[in-house]
Amino acid sequence: MRQNPGDSSCKGCHFAAYVFSLARKLYQTTEALPKPGWRKFLAHVGPGFLVSLAYLDPGNLETDLQAGANHRYELLWVILIGLVFALIIQSLSANLGVTTGKHLSELCKAEYPPFVKYCLWLLAEVAVIAADIPEVIGTAFALNLLFNIPVWTGVLLTGFSTLLLLGLQRYGVRKLEILIAVLVFVMAACFFGEMSYVKPPASSVLQGMFIPKLSGQRATGDAIALLGALVMPHNLFLHSALVLSRKIPKSVRGINDACRYFLIESGFALFVAFLINVAIISVSGTVCHQNDLSDTEDKTCSDLTLNSASFLLQNVLGRSSKIFYAIALLASGQSSTITGTYAGQFVMQGFLDIKMNKWARNLLTRCIAITPSLIVSIIGGSSGAGRLIIIASMILSFELPFALIPLLKFSSSATKMGPHKNSIYIIVISWILGMGIIGINIYYLSTGFVGWIIHSSLPKVATVFIGILVFPLMAIYILAVVYLTLRKDTVVTFIEPTNNDPAAQNQMESGLLNSSDLPVPFRQDLAGTPLPQ
């Protein structure tokens, strides 16, 4: 029987079609396989590192330098406890945003009555402004070191510098943020290099890190300032909002994976911040307690400020220490401005549902922060501006309960988190640490004010008048903390993770379906946040 000449070509077509179909199925199967862990992790990187910049701002540098100069290594334990506690509450903040799809200020608006809501909003705005004061003064000090501009003039120029920074974001946000991060870590390298030169005794550093001690007249105040500079209330609002810029599958697996990746990222970023803070305190504590200090250096160490700390790096950088230190200080202040701007924006949007342009929001906050900074820098000069940074850090510490308590309650509540609420161990640890810090704040506030009243040189009439004014405010502060702690949550905001297609849901839970194939709740209002998507 004779074969048709066209049969071989048809068989070839069928074979090619079969091979193509097989390749397509293989490609689809490969696409459906779960992504490697490192790729999933990199997709979540960003929020924790941006938040960690706030732990390296000029306020931290100022308190670290003074803690080392005044108490050597004795307050390193405050840094350790503060950053461990910061890791816990930052992870709780991220978990809250991931699970609920709302950030902390939005949940406060939904939960509390109008009067309480507006009070919390005002306190959050005060915290943002208090966090901006060290950035204003730090930038002014950097301009003074670089160009010999008077501090009060530098304070005025900070309003233009931050607007310039926000304007440059239009030409490449990621490049700008990487440049700032590099400059900040240049300062870290400087202090690590100096630390390797002066060689602080390892036993004393470890002893200060793990043995709590408060010796000396100013130890308690410096410890409170350190905590205030480390654990900042506006960071809690910020972190819970930044995680919403990620596309996270609304499933049990998707939420758990996101929470784990954000915890790893925050832990790494805060560990780097911890090492840098330890290096700064160790260098300050070692150099300022050397026996061969000159009279000028000894006088500088007795009242160490950001403006006078460049001499600490002379052993490594020599005459260039002033320039390198000033550039790093400028980068520190400007990078922290980004976190403060977004925190203020999220606070206003969450509590009041009001949205402002970034430049308008930043200009509003910066103008308010410039006012006290300008007055103090004109009257008290560099030393007065340095003390204002300490006062701003203490204000942040006293403000902390009004962001921390709602976070601890919401993250431990089934009405907000459902099955993703905190475990009993996290609840106990976080509340013990939180109440410990709040108790220290209240104790220091009350004893410090009573001591000032007793030893005040003011006329008795003025002393009595101040007491009549301040004691009720202290009582209101304590009652507000008690109210937030004991009030029961009533508003249910948790939404059970579901999907209309049970088969797709099962595939996603087992990791066999790409999350981009499913409808994901995504916050379009946060899409403009300058983080890698």
Question: CB 3: neighbour CB atoms within 10 A?
Answer: 7
pLDDT one-digit tens code per residue, 404-433: 999 999 998 888 888 888 888 888 988 998
Give the pLDDT of residue 179.
Answer: 64
Instruction: Classify residue 309 by its DSSP letter.
Output: G
Buried b (16+ CB within 10 A) or exposed e, 356-377: eebeebbbebbeebbebbbebb
Q: For residue 202, what is the domain's CATH number?
A: 1.20.1740.10
Residue 251 and residue 497 in contact, taking contact as beta carbons nearer than 8 Å: yes
Q: Tokens in use for 246? A: 């990620």
Give the pLDDT of residue 377.
Answer: 76
Q: Is the pLDDT reported for residue 437 higher than 90?
A: no
Give the pLDDT of residue 26.
Answer: 44
- For 72, the 3-state DSSP assignment is coil
Q: What's the CA gap between 465 and 362, in Å, rounded?
A: 37
Give the mean pLDDT of 340-354: 83
> Is 0.85 topped by the overall pTM?
no
pLDDT more than 90, % of the chain: 9
Q: Is the pLDDT reported for residue 31 higher than 80?
A: no
The per-residue pLDDT of the chain, averaged, comes to 76
- Could you tell me if residue 130 is inside a domain? yes
Give the pLDDT of residue 316.
Answer: 67
Residue 10 and residue 228 in contact, taking contact as beta carbons nearer than 8 Å: no
Radius of gyration of the chain (CA): 27
- For 427, the 3-state DSSP assignment is helix
- Could you tell me if residue 330 is inside a domain? yes
Which comes out higher in pLDDT, residue 119 or 185?
Answer: 119
Q: What's the CA gap between 413 and 492, in Å, rounded?
A: 9
Give the pLDDT of residue 195.
Answer: 82
How many Å from the N-terminal Cα to the C-terminal Cα in the chain? Answer: 66
Q: What's the CA gap between 177 and 407, in Å, rounded?
A: 29
Question: Please, what is the angle between helix 358-399 and helix 401-411, to 10°?
Answer: 90
Number of domains the chain is built from? 1
- For 421, the 3-state DSSP assignment is coil
Give the pLDDT of residue 522.
Answer: 47
Which comes out higher in pLDDT, residue 372 or 19?
Answer: 372
Binned at pLDDT 50, 70 and 90, residue 510 comes out as very low
Give the pLDDT of residue 176.
Answer: 59
- Could you tell me if residue 369 is inside a domain? yes
Question: Please, what is the angle between helix 358-399 and helix 58-71, to 10°?
Answer: 30
**Maximum average pLDDT range among 41-45, 87-91, 464-468:** 87-91
Give the pLDDT of residue 410.
Answer: 92
Cα separations (Å) of 253 from 99, 420, 504?
A: 11, 11, 13
Instruction: Classify residue 289 by its DSSP letter.
Output: T
- Could you tell me if residue 14 is inside a domain? no
Least confident of 14-23, 132-141, 235-244: 14-23
Residue 145 and residue 329 in contact, taking contact as beta carbons nearer than 8 Å: yes
Q: What's the CA gap between 154 and 135, in Å, rounded?
A: 12
Q: What's the CA gap between 347 and 349, in Å, rounded?
A: 6
Q: Is the pLDDT reported for residue 465 higher than 50?
A: yes
- Could you tell me if residue 155 is inside a domain? yes
Binned at pLDDT 50, 70 and 90, residue 162 comes out as low
Give the pLDDT of residue 186.
Answer: 73
Residue 109 and residue 342 in contact, taking contact as beta carbons nearer than 8 Å: no
Question: CB 155: neighbour CB atoms within 10 A?
Answer: 29
Cα angle, residue 96 at apex, residues 95 and 99 outer, rounded to 5° = 80
Q: What's the CA gap between 387 and 380, in Å, rounded?
A: 9
Instruction: Classify residue 150 by its DSSP letter.
Output: -
- Could you tell me if residue 521 is inside a domain? no
Cα angle, residue 156 at apex, residues 155 and 159 outer, rounded to 5° = 100
- Could you tell me if residue 507 is inside a domain? no
Q: Tokens in use for 425? A: 């161990």
Question: Please, what is the angle between helix 114-147 and helix 104-111, to 10°?
Answer: 150
Q: Which domain holds residue 153?
A: 38-490
Binned at pLDDT 50, 70 and 90, residue 136 comes out as confident
Q: Is the pLDDT reported for residue 527 higher than 90?
A: no
- Could you tell me if residue 13 is inside a domain? no
